[in-house]
Amino acid sequence: MNAPFGLLKVGRMSRSLMIVSAFAVLFVLIGMRSVSVALGAGGAIDVVDTREREAHIRADIHDRNGELLATSVSVYSLFADPRAIWDAGEVAAALGSVFPDLDTHEVTARLENRARAFVWIKRGLTPRQRQAVFDLGVEGLGFRVEHQRAYPRGSQAGHVLGHTDVDGKGQMGVELALDKVLGMAEEPVRLTLDSGVQYIVENELEAAAANYDVLGAVGIVLDVHNGEIRALASWPAFDPNRPALASDAARLNRAVGGVYELGSVFKPLTIAAALGSGGISSHERFDVRSKLVINGFEITDTHEGASRMTAALVLAESSNIGTVRIAERLGPDGLADAFGRLGLLDKAQIEMSGSAAPILPSKWSALSNATASYGHGIAVSPLAFARAFAALGNEGRVPGLTLVSRERDGERPEHERFVSPEIATELVAMLRLAVTDGTGRRADVPGYRVAGKTGTAEKPIAGGYAEDHNVNSFAALFPSDRPEYVVLVVLDDPRRGGEPGGTAALNAAPVAGRIIERIAPLLEVAPVFDPAARSKRASRERSAP
């Protein structure tokens, strides 16, 4: 009896050990599975997926002086493995306590999909948000290191830079145009912009917007010799750090994506083309006493001047009639060819997205030839016009545009011949006269010899033009004796207290003058003071009403 009893006791103990061992193996397997989920799928809250660390970081963007304009910063993005989450609604509610803007119903639906091993919850977390998620102690969540674009100067040059999406892909501006380059470059991409000049232009546009209640504004500073853009600004401002908050008006880069009938700033180009073709001479006088009627369309001057004008006086007095008389010598084909050589019949070629094509006459008739000669019936982007205007300061050659520094490879955009150096020099002298004695007086800056032209263009509406809504502009070259830069200011519908804001002579010209006065020292343009000119200016100011 003892033996069987002993065997029975041993057998029971063996079975107990077997059961205990089985449970132990089961717990080990469960533990191993938990570790596998945590390590492979990001199950535990303290697991960080570092695969994004191996991805190439998007290159920084600098200005011409090495100032940082755009960079990439490391951020944590929160994801989940729905397979490791027991109660999707509870987890979504907990996350909603950290992120009030989170759609918990949508998150719950995603977390309930057990067929998926990875879903994004929220990207670009701040360190405080990341810690708050850690403090929840929820299983099945993890973080992935990503690189988010940051623009340390806020809205400065925002339209030029553009922005990226949450995946780091360029969406507008340079970020879009150079998307592949920025994604592969080992060194920063350097732009031709000068941050100091850019700041001044943006600052003056903002002041103009407040002073004249404009719908929009543009400011451009361009090197006439190499086509490098030193400043390119559009108002309203755009902050690339917060693209989702920008209005449609703020998202539009008016300098390259807007097209405008710019008015009388076209007149110097028409006169230069006529002189270059030999159709007129600089000493010839044109009869401007009577209004012109072309195909039933009346062309008049806004104010009376001399009855017969030279080309220089036509420019200084901004005579529409005189300009049309000059354009008649060119004819429609001649003017269209001239504008084509200036690049005005195509969109501006530049290393950024959104460059707009011009709106051109359906055919170059006698009427379109007349109106286009003084900047109506043809709408171009401000950047395209600034490039064309630069030819007058670049000895008659149209520079290629560039926004990216070419210092390392020596590559330069090609130049197109428009007129001879002699004619270009003659036109700059006429433009200087238009500032000292003509409609551009308020743009003059002591010491910097500004040459330029005003443009006041009525805005087109259905069936004609609005008499009380204008696009006002001022195009300048300085210094006039050896032009180095173009400054273009465009104000869309300037007004005062709800009333029309007057001509470009009253608003666009003084804005351009203030810009030149402030940027000239940064551009190392030395002032030259002429005592005689200073005395003449003082006398003129004393006699002004």
Task: State the catalytic residues.
Answer: 264
Q: How many CB atoms lie within 10 A of CB 132?
A: 15
The 3-class secondary structure across 132-165, one letter per residue, is HHHHHCCCCEEEEEEEEEECCCCCCCHHHHCCEC
Token representation of residue 173: 């501006």
- Pair of tokens at residue 440: 């551009």
Find out whether 449 and 526 touch, Cβ atoms under 8 Å: no
Nearest Cα to 490, choosing from 375, 370, 401?
A: 375
The most distant pair of C-alpha atoms in the chain lies apart, rounded to whole Å, by: 145
Structure tokens at 86: 């027991």
Spatial contact of 525 and 448, defined as CB atoms under 8 Å apart: yes
User: Residue 504: CB partners within 8 Å, gap ≥ 6?
Assistant: 263, 264, 439, 454, 455, 456, 470, 472, 473, 474, 491
Task: Give the H or E element holding residue 440.
Answer: none
Burial class (CB in 10 A: 0-12, 13-18, 19+), 500: middle
Q: List the one residue out of 252, 232, 156 whose CA is nearest residue 192.
A: 232
Which amino acid does the sequence have at 394? N
User: What is the spatial distance between Cα 114 and Cα 285, in angstroms, rounded to a whole number?
Assistant: 86
The DSSP result for 38-89, as a single string, is HHHH--STT-EE-GGGGSPPPPPEE-TT--EEEEEEEEEEEEE-GGG-S-HH
Contact by Cβ (8 Å): 193, 362? no
